[in-house]
Every structure is written in C-alpha cells, then in structure tokens.
Amino acid sequence: MILRKGLLLILAWGLAMSAASCGGTASNEESWQSLLSESRHFAALKQWESATDYAIKALSSNNLDDGAKSLVLSHLASIDIMTWRDAQGWEHAVEAERLARDAGTDTLIATALLQKGRLQLCGAITQGEAQDAEALETLQEAMSLASGSPSLQADILLQMSQAYIGLNRFRSPIDTKIYAEAGRCIDRAVAVSKDSAFVSKALPYWIRWYRQGGAWQDGIACCKSVLESLGKEDFLMQSQCWNNLVMLYAQAGDVEGAATAHQQYVYAMEYYMQQKADERLQEMETRYESSLKEARISRMRIVMIALIILAITLVIMIVVSQAYIRGIVASDRGKEQLLRLISKDLANPQPGDSPVPDSATIRARCRELLGEEDGGIANDIASYITGLADERSRRVKEFGLTAREIEVIRLSAEGLSAAGIAERLHVSVYTVKNHKQNIYLKMDVRSNAEMLRLANELGIV
C-alpha cells in the first residue's frame, strides 16, 4: 500500500514537472498588461517597430474587455502618430473611443479623445484653421472627463495649447487673447502634473509659443532654466534645449550665441548617441544572459524529467519484482504446506526399525489424497515424498535414535514435561531425563528447544 501511494505521488510529480517544462500553457501566457507595459517601454526608447508589435500582441490577447481594448488601441494610436501613420491612427482612436464609451469609463474616453485631438492637430498642418478648432473641441471634451488623472490632464492641456497656437498660425497679427490662452494651458499643464520632470516635456510647447509671440529672449531664458534643471546624463533633453537655443539666438540676431549653442548641441548629441549605444549594448548583453539562463533552465528541466522517469521506472520495476517474488514465495510456501500435509504420515521416520512405506504405497496414498486416478501430479509428489522419507530415515539412522527416544522427542513436542512424559510412558521421571540426555548427546544439542528445532527439520515431529 505504501509503495503504491509513493508511486502515485511520484507519477503526479513527474506529470506536473513535464507540464511545467513544456510551457505554452494558459497560466504561463503573457497577460495583456505585461505586453502593453513592454510596448510602452519600447515606445519610450523610440523603438517604434517593437512597440507596435507588442501592442498588437496585447490587442490579440484572450479575455480582453472593452475597457482594456480601448486602452491598448489608444496607445497604438499614439504610436501611429509618432510613425506618421495618421489614417491608421485615426481608425484606432475612433475605435478606442467607441469601446471606451461602451465601457462607460471617463478616463478611457478622455484618453481616446486625446489621441483623436492629436491626430486632428496633425491634419491641421495642411487643412487650415477648421481642423484646429475641431481638435480644440475634442480636447476640451477630453479635459472635462479626465478629472481623476492629473497626468492625463497635463497631456491634454499641452495639446490644447497647440490647438490655440494653430488657431493663430494664419493670423497676422496674431490674436492676443488666443495667444494668451495657449500660454495659460502650458502653465496649467505644468502645475497640474506636479512633476518636476514634466517641465522638460513642456519645453517644446513653450518654445513654439514664444516663437509665435516673437518673445525670443523669454524663450532663451526658458531653455536656460530647463537646462539648469536637467540631470547631467539627460543628453537628449540637453540637445533639444541647445537646438532650440540655436534657433532662438538666430531669431534674436545673436550670431555668437547661436554658434555656441550649436556647438553645445553637437556635443550633447554625441554623448546621447554614445549613451544610446551603451544602453543598446547593455540590453543585448542582458538578453544574451537571459537566453543563456533560459537554456540552462531548459536543460535542467530535461535532466529532471529524465531522472523522474528513471526513478518511476525503477520504482515500477521494484514493485513488480517484489510482487513476483512474493508470489513465488507464497507459491513455494503453499507447496511446502501441501507436501507437509501429504507427507506427514508417509515421510516421517517410524519408531524403531519399522520400514518406510514403499513408493507404490506412497503413490497410492497421494492419488487418494489428491483425488486423481491416473496419478499425474500425484506421481510427482509421490516421488518427492519417497525421496524425502529416505533422506529423513537416513539422517535419523545417522543419529542412532531408538524408538523410545523418538517417542520422547514427539511427546516433548506436544509440550509435555518430564513428569508428563513419564506418566504417558509409564516410566519414572529419572528414566525420561536419562533418555533426554542420550538424545542431546546423539543430536549434538544443548537444550530442549534445539532438540525440537532439529527434530522438526528431520521430520520426527
């Protein structure tokens, strides 16, 4: 029973390990959240192809509800904008808005509307003022629904500033009220975000605003302020700031300042490219180490499965062999018990010089006990008993035991004491003890227990 339970446990463990090593099960599939996170990671690195692939995988995941699909589609639309796939991005944004409205989640609706507004602003470059107005209307609706997300509000406000700037693009002179509203949107975006790093994100929007208003010195001061707030390793933003300063100095007529800013821009871009190369190399090394680790784990799993299968095979072989051995032992014991039963009266040594029954008598007795007429098996058993009887008689004769001594041995085997034997044989206790001493000497034993054990082997009892 214990072996059977152990075998079942090992089999269950082996199956579990095999299933775990195969992979590809539903429990091991990447969730849409993790795929979307990977897509955002690559988008932050401006690796648009990888970002798109992960977004599409996330969109193809199982068990996506309307809200999740809307979120992924909005993200995919933002990638489309960065890769100049405006028509495709518009389809994604419109579908994201429809699903978000079906889900009834304001934040998701606002996210989808933000992407629609950004795409309408992209179209405004060639289609004039009307697209800017539509974008502003879309973004204002998004702003009204984004009250629960400060970061989303900040992004919407930045795009609203672009819509106001777009409304002034073809005006000369510009409308000061619209211009002031664009500036207020940028200031509100920075205030709402409550993130110091957001200032650098707002920089391009400030620069566009200052350029439209001709406020070159204010733009220069803004770029310098952002440069002072940047970290030493943020070479990308440094390069953008210096590039904007080149333009602003040029517009302000400061040739020397423009030249210095351009030189700083070149340095920042060189450092940034070196930084990107180092990051790419580090990423490749990390992936290589990860692939090596996965390969080692895979090999270990294969070895573990092989060892488990080997262990299961050995356990099965042990269980089967033990069952076989137990069967043989049980069979042998059954045969021995049968032979003892049949040969009890035929093979045991007889008292005195009484002859052992001949083979014909033994064969007839065996046929009688087994109920056989032709004596097939009975003949084999009779041959065995004849040989057994001859062997026992020979060994008894070697010890030289008398009929009385054999009788004493058999009475002792019945559990009688010396007094009981004496009473049964109608002799004195002294005579019985004398017989036992002679028996001990002849059989070379030292106790009654040894005498009975040897007598049992000889078939005397």
pLDDT in tens, 155-171: 999 999 999 998 888 88
Backbone angles phi, psi at 103, to 5 degrees: -75, -25
pLDDT grade for 37, boundaries at 50, 70 and 90? very high
Confidence band, pLDDT 50/70/90 cuts, at residue 372:
low
CB 261 within 8 A of CB 249: yes
Q: Which residues contact 202 (CB under 8 A, 6 or more apart)?
A: 158, 186, 189, 190
Q: Which residues, including other chains, have CB under 8 Å from residue 157's CB and lie 6 or more apart?
A: 143, 185, 186, 188, 189, 192
Q: Is the torsion defined by CA of 427, 431, 433, 439 positive or negative?
A: negative
What is the dihedral angle through the alpha carbons of 364, 370, 374, 376, rounded to the nearest 10 degrees? -100
Mean pLDDT computed over 435-441: 91
- Report, in angstroms and rounded to the nearest whole number, the Rg of the chain calculated over CA atoms: 52
Q: Cβ distance 245 to 220 under 8 Å?
A: yes
Output DSSP code: residue 215. -
Q: Which of 22-26, 246-250, 264-268 has the lowest mean pLDDT?
A: 22-26
In angstroms, the first-to-last Cα distance of the chain is: 38
Q: What separation in angstroms does the CA of 403 have from each of 190, 355, 407, 413, 435? A: 123, 12, 6, 15, 11
pLDDT at 145: 94
Phi, psi for 129 (deg, rounded to 5) = -70, -30
Extract the tokens encoding 62.
């199982």
Q: Is 313 exposed, middle or buried (0-12, 13-18, 19+ CB in 10 A)?
A: exposed
pLDDT above 90 coverage of the chain, percent = 33
| Distance of alpha carbon 239 from alpha carbon 246, whole angstroms | 11
By three-state DSSP, how is residue 231 classified? Answer: coil
283-292 pLDDT, tens digit per residue, is: 788 888 888 8
Can you give the pLDDT at residue 402? Answer: 86
CB 182 within 8 A of CB 165: yes
Q: Is the pTM of this model over 0.75?
A: no
Confidence of residue 76 (pLDDT cuts 50, 70, 90): very high
How far is Cα 86 from Cα 43, in angstroms, rounded to an integer?
A: 17
| pLDDT over threshold 50, residue 126 | no
pLDDT exceeds cutoff 80 at 387: no
421 near 412, Cβ under 8 Å?
yes
Render the burial of 278-301: b for 16+ CB within 10 Å, e for the rest: eeeeeeeeeeeeeeeeeeeeeeeb
pLDDT at 255 over 80: yes
Mean pLDDT of the chain: 82
Is the CB of residue 165 less than 8 Å from the CB of residue 121?
A: no
Confidence class for position 177, pLDDT limits 50, 70, 90 = very high
